[in-house]
Amino acid sequence: MTTPDDAIVVDNIHKSYGDLRAVNGLTFTVHPGEFFGILGPNGAGKTTALEIIEGLRKPDQGSVRLLGHNPFPRTVALLPRIGVQLQASAFFTKLTAREQLETFAALYGIETQRAHDMLDLVGLTDKAGTREDKLSGGQRQRLSIACALVHDPDIVFLDEPTAALDPQARRNLWDVLRAIQARGKTIVYTTHYLDEAEILCDRVAIMDKGEILALDTPAALVRGLDAPTRIILDKSTAPRDLPGADEVTEDDLSVTITTRAPALVLTALAERGALDGLQVRTATLEDVFLHLTGREYRA
Amino acid sequence: MSPFRSLSTAMVKSFIRDKATLFFAFVMPLMFLVIFGLLFRDIGSEKIKIGVYGDGAVITALDRSGVVDIQRFTSLDDGIAKVRAGDLPGLVEATGDNVVLRFAASNQAQAGTVQGLVAGVTQQLNVAESGKPPKYDFRAEQVEDASLKPIQYLTPGILSWGIATTAVFGTSISLVNWRRKQILRRLRLAPIGATTILTSRLVVTVGVALAQALLFIGIALIPVFGLTLSGTWWMSVPIFVSGVLAFFTIGMLVGAVCKTEEAATGAANIVVLPMAFLSGTFFPIDQAPKWLQAVSQVFPLRHMNDGMMDFLVRGKGPQALLLPCGVLLGFTLVVAFIASRVFTWEDS
Ligand SMILES: Nc1ncnc2c1ncn2[C@@H]1O[C@H](COP(=O)(O)OP(=O)(O)OP(=O)(O)O)[C@@H](O)[C@H]1O
Ligand SMILES: [Mg+2]
């Protein structure tokens, strides 16, 4: 599957901190122009994996090719082509949002105007003159993303970019990321939000305890689960004896019908005029995670 | 803007936006300079007081000598009482051709000086009176200003100390801060070399030191303080540069070793404070005991101090550059080597 012009080729990388195996044998490739997500709970090893790929850490074992180069030790020719947002924002002390971007732009030899465009892109124009330590958590996050994008890199690494963002900012960032992808750039990002990854990513790797449990398109992962559909109804309106229902459970307020033939059940419900307040739940990546680990997913 | 300039600008901005740093770099040393400068202003320029009773050639000659302050008494007993009380080191009673000096043995040093003075003046007059040319010719010539006025040693001392403190603290704390805040890591991902980061930091440190030097010397030159620069003051520039380099590398070492800003502050204090007290910042080191003078030779601040003093106020020649510059640059090389060994871009 590996082709010479793959953006990223990760081959069996390992990294231990003492006895702790933070990354334990990851192998995957990311294609040019792909939106690639790494998912997993706290401590899964996402940041460690990302930092090995970026060239910030040396793997104990295994190899990485980033745009055809070995990222470790530091390869200066590679650096203008990658943009990195670290999980903990790294800002120059006491500089304003605009000055941070101008400084980063200058480090890459980019003109100042681009720095101002980036502020606009992440919606921080009105915070341009605010010092780094006076920004809110989400504003810092957005500034940090802008700093990663300022030199228009070919591959963008974002470590939990949507953490700490309010729903509006999250949506705006989705648009920004989609626009970047539309220009042919490759995006690798980590997140705790499985629903978000399902919407954004071309492919996702689900990680736990330093290993990849599954890697595919979100749709394929969910389909592979072959999970039943759940239909939830208000208790008062729920009819009995529906065709196609595999299992019916009820609590104080609602009735949940589990079915592998949702069309049959829904048709029957429509015939009986019982569609009011109805919810249909198909499997999500959370179910995939639950299935893979036997644990409930907790972000 | 080039990466070098933008990094330097970023460092200068965070420096001048930090009120505490500004205070320690400029206001505190200036406070010392002003307080000590005013406090000790008249020390050393004070003349010996001497009481006189009566009149005559000896008294006139003493007065003209310009080295004593004469206080005249109309009553001999009043004058003697003053000497007894220790208010005056001596009283000259001149009646006709008789000159009697009365002194209190309680202040031996001053009494000796006064005796010598009065005896000297009297002998001179005797020789002149005899009409013979003096056999032995005697001239007094000043070789160098051994007992400097306080402002003359306070200025180079406080200047060197202020520069040293700011360079060590500023460099170490900003290095720790940049490492801890992951700025160093982030800079590793930008296409710039480590030398760009290092030289921009150095240039900012030198710039701050230059601002300190201009400010402190400028203030000390005001007539109330009365600093007079020697003709060779400009030869202090190499001393200044090698001093800043030495303390910059010490700051680098402290910043490389320490993981937190608190630890760096503590370590910087341990390095700078003993040096400040034992290198002649606040008092001339040649008044200290011999063993202390020997110990102080290991401190780079001592050599920066001496060097600055030699050229700013003592007017020494170029050969006086060798020792302080050599020691400071040697220090720089050794410390820089150690710092480069222990430096890390990130906390493990
Ligand atoms: N520098 C380090 N030294 C020692 N252990 C570390 C270090 N960095 C990470 N670890 C450990 O390695 C494991 C993986 O950490 P990592 O940061 O890669 O997780 P993550 O998936 O990014 O988690 P999160 O979602 O919380 O960001 C964790 O158990 C963590 O405690
Ligand atoms: Mg992480």
Neighbours of A204 (CB within 10 A): 28
Please report the domains of chain B, with CATH numbers, ordered by start residue.
Answer: 8-41+149-342 (no CATH), 48-130 (3.40.190.10)
Q: What is the average pLDDT across A268-292?
A: 81
Q: Distance from the CA of A221 to the center of ligand 2, in angstroms? A: 23
> What are A95-135's pLDDT values in tens digits?
999 999 999 999 999 988 999 999 998 999 999 999 999 99
Residues with Cβ within 8 Å of residue B332, at least 6 apart in sequence: B242, B245, B246, B248, B249
Q: Is B189–A54 a contact, with Cβ atoms under 8 angstroms apart?
A: yes
pLDDT at B38: 84
Substitution target in B2, B4, B5, B6 with the highest count of A β-carbons within 10 Å is: B6
* Confidence tier at A4 by pLDDT (50, 70, 90): low
Q: Is pLDDT above 70 for A296?
A: no
Residue-wise DSSP of B9-38: HHHHHHHHT-HHHHIIIIIHHHHHHHHHHH
Query: Which among A16, A47, A191 is the best mutation to test ligand 1's pocket, defined by most ligand atoms within 8 Å of the CB?
Result: A47
Query: For A18, which residue in chain B has the nearest alpha carbon?
Result: B348
Q: Do A207 and A45 form a contact (C-beta atoms < 8 A)?
A: yes
pLDDT at B288: 82
Q: Is B190–A99 a contact, with Cβ atoms under 8 angstroms apart?
A: no
Interface of B with A (CB under 8 A): 1-3, 5-7, 9-10, 13-14, 17-18, 174, 177-178, 181-183, 185-193, 346
The CA R_g of chain B, rounded to the nearest whole Å, is 28
Examine residue A73 and say whether the peptide bond preceding it is cis (omega within 30 degrees of 0).
yes
Q: Which residue, B252, B261, B213, B264, is CA-closest to B333?
A: B252
Residue-wise DSSP of A270-285: HHTT--TT-EEE---H
* Confidence tier at A274 by pLDDT (50, 70, 90): confident
Query: Which among A15, A20, A190, A191 is the best mutation to test ligand 1's pocket, defined by most ligand atoms within 8 Å of the CB?
Result: A20
Sort A245 into a burial class: Cβ within 10 Å, 0-12 / 13-18 / 19+.
middle
Question: DSSP 3-state assignment of B144?
Answer: coil
**A208 has which bridge partners?**
A211
Please indicate whether residue A17, judged by its CB atom, sits closer than 6 Å to ligand 1. Answer: yes
Neighbours of A277 (CB within 10 A): 12
* Confidence tier at A264 by pLDDT (50, 70, 90): confident
Mind listing the pLDDT tens digit of every residue in chain B (348 residues)? 899 999 999 999 999 999 999 999 999 999 998 888 888 776 655 677 888 898 888 888 888 877 788 888 988 888 888 888 888 888 888 888 888 888 877 777 777 888 888 888 888 888 888 888 777 777 666 554 555 678 888 899 999 999 999 999 999 999 999 999 999 999 999 999 999 999 999 999 999 999 999 999 999 999 888 898 988 899 999 999 999 999 999 999 999 999 999 999 999 999 999 898 888 787 777 778 888 888 889 999 999 999 999 999 888 999 989 999 999 999 999 999 999 999 989 887
3-state secondary structure B173-224: HHHHHHHHCCHHHHHHCCCCCHHHHHHHHHHHHHHHHHHHHHHHHHHHHCCC
Q: Do A63 and A13 form a contact (C-beta atoms < 8 A)?
A: yes
Q: Which of A88-92, A245-249, B84-88, B109-113 has the lowest mean pLDDT?
A: B109-113
B323 vs A270, which has greater pLDDT? B323
- CA atoms of B213 and B276, how far apart (whole Å): 17
Q: Do B238 and B273 form a contact (C-beta atoms < 8 A)?
A: no
User: Which tokens belong to B271?
Assistant: 């390095």
Q: Do A117 and A85 form a contact (C-beta atoms < 8 A)?
A: no
Q: How far is B191 from chain A (nearest CA, A)?
A: 5
pLDDT at B270: 93
Contacts by B274-278, CB closer than 8 A, 24 or more apart: B274/B299, B275/B164, B275/B299, B275/B300, B275/B301, B275/B302, B276/B161, B276/B164, B276/B165, B276/B301, B278/B302
Residue-wise DSSP of B38-79: HHTTTTTTPPEEEEEEE-SHHHHHHHHHSSEEEEEESSHHHH
How are beta strands A254-259 and B68-73 bridged, if at all? unpaired
pLDDT at B42: 66
ipTM of the complex in this document: 0.83
- CA atoms of B202 and A213, how far apart (whole Å): 49
Phi and psi at residue A29, to the nearest 5°: -125, 150
Q: Distance from the CA of A227 to the center of ligand 2, in angstroms? A: 30
Strands (E), A31-149: 35-39, 61-66, 82-85
Q: How far is A208 from chain B (nearest CA, A)?
A: 23
Please indicate whether residue A45, judged by its CB atom, sits closer than 6 Å to ligand 1. Answer: yes
User: Which residue in the block uniquely carries the two structure tokens 């701050």?
Assistant: B208
Q: How far is A166 from chain B (nearest CA, A)?
A: 24
- CA atoms of B59 and B275, how far apart (whole Å): 50
Q: Is B186–A90 a contact, with Cβ atoms under 8 angstroms apart?
A: yes
pLDDT at A270: 85
Q: Which residue, A106, A100, A110, A104, is CA-closest to A130?
A: A100
Question: Taking CB atoms and an 8 Å cutoff, what residues of chain A touch B195?
Answer: none
Q: Is A88–B182 a contact, with Cβ atoms under 8 angstroms apart?
A: yes
Q: Distance from the CA of A47 to the center of ligand 2, in angstroms? A: 4
Please indicate whether residue A107, judged by its CB atom, sits closer than 6 Å to ligand 1. Answer: no
- CA atoms of A237 and A261, how far apart (whole Å): 21
For residue B127, how many C-alpha atoms fall within 13 Å in the half-sphere facing its CB?
A: 12
pLDDT at A288: 80
pLDDT at B177: 94
Q: Which of A210-214, A275-279, B104-108 has the lowest mean pLDDT?
A: B104-108
Q: What is the mean pLDDT of chain A?
A: 89
Neighbours of B203 (CB within 10 A): 16
